[in-house]
A and B are shown apart, each in its own frame.
Chain A
Amino acid sequence: GAGVSQSPRYKVAKRGQDVALRCDPISGHVSLFWYQQALGQGPEFLTYFQNEAQLDKSGLPSDRFFAERPEGSVSTLKIQRTQQEDSAVYLCASSVTTVNTEAFFGQGTRLTVV
């Protein structure tokens, strides 16, 4: 595809439900990032993959958040037992190499926990 693709675009979950958010990066991009953007805030870093290796998960807010990229391409961000404070836009970005290159963002998944 032409850019980073995320699905679903919108997700409404009941409190306590598990959700899975998908990211298809640009083909061949080594680096993949997940960011969380709460209402009125800038994106905040969650986690980083270099190919299939998760090199940094320092931004994951709790052990309810889990991300994977098993084949170094598509990535999934999973949130278990969702809570209202998890409501946010989740952004995925990819870049061709590890540093000093532009990151391309997807359109995001808006998660609303009710």
Chain B
Amino acid sequence: AQRVTQPEKLLSVFKGAPVELKCNYSYSGSPELFWYVQYSRQRLQLLLRHISRESIKGFTADLNKGETSFHLKKPFAQEEDSAMYYCALRTSGTYKYIFGTGTRLKVLA
């Protein structure tokens, strides 16, 4: 069965430090991977998707099929990055997301 694992419930870093939020998935086909973010009192919103290969708000994520990972990285964390981050998988040609349990990122001043 398809599954997304985010091993860290909480990640605290200091402002200006690098950030890496881990995401591993299990799926034998060609996956679509996404990172969604939820800021305090706001709705879940798309941060980035692997097929776009873009950087949003300084965040990047590379799909590593060998390691079945899609870790989210940012070289210098900002306080406004504090939020809940969810990794999500969508299997090829389908419509539904399979979400991980989320990682709360706290960026300390």
Contact between A31 and B95, CB atoms less than 8 A apart: yes
- Chain A stretch 90-114: residues in CB contact (< 8 A) with chain B: 91, 95, 98-100, 102-108
Whole-angstrom distance from the CB of B33 to the nearest CB of chain A? Answer: 13
Cα separation A40 to B101 with both chains bound (whole Å): 7
Contacts of B44 on A, CB cut-off 8 Å?
Answer: 43, 91, 105
Cα separation A107 to B41 with both chains bound (whole Å): 8
Q: Which residues of B contact A (CB under 8 A)?
A: 4, 9, 32, 36, 42-46, 49, 86, 88, 93-102
Whole-angstrom distance from the CB of B7 to the nearest CB of chain A? Answer: 13
Q: Which residues of A contact B (CB under 8 A)?
A: 3-4, 31, 33, 35, 40-45, 48, 56, 59, 91, 95, 98-100, 102-108
Q: Is the interface of A mostly helix, strand, loop or mixed?
A: loop
Contact between A99 and B101, CB atoms less than 8 A apart: no
Contacts of B93 on A, CB cut-off 8 Å?
Answer: 99
Cα separation A32 to B43 with both chains bound (whole Å): 16
Give the residue of A40, A45, A100, A104 whose beta carbon is less than 8 angstroms from that of B98. Answer: A45
| CB nearest neighbor in A for B51 | A100
Give the residue of A48, A107, A108 whose beta carbon is less than 8 angstroms from that of B95. Answer: A48
| CB nearest neighbor in A for B42 | A107
Most chain A CB inside 10 Å of its own CB: which residue of B4, B9, B44, B97 = B44
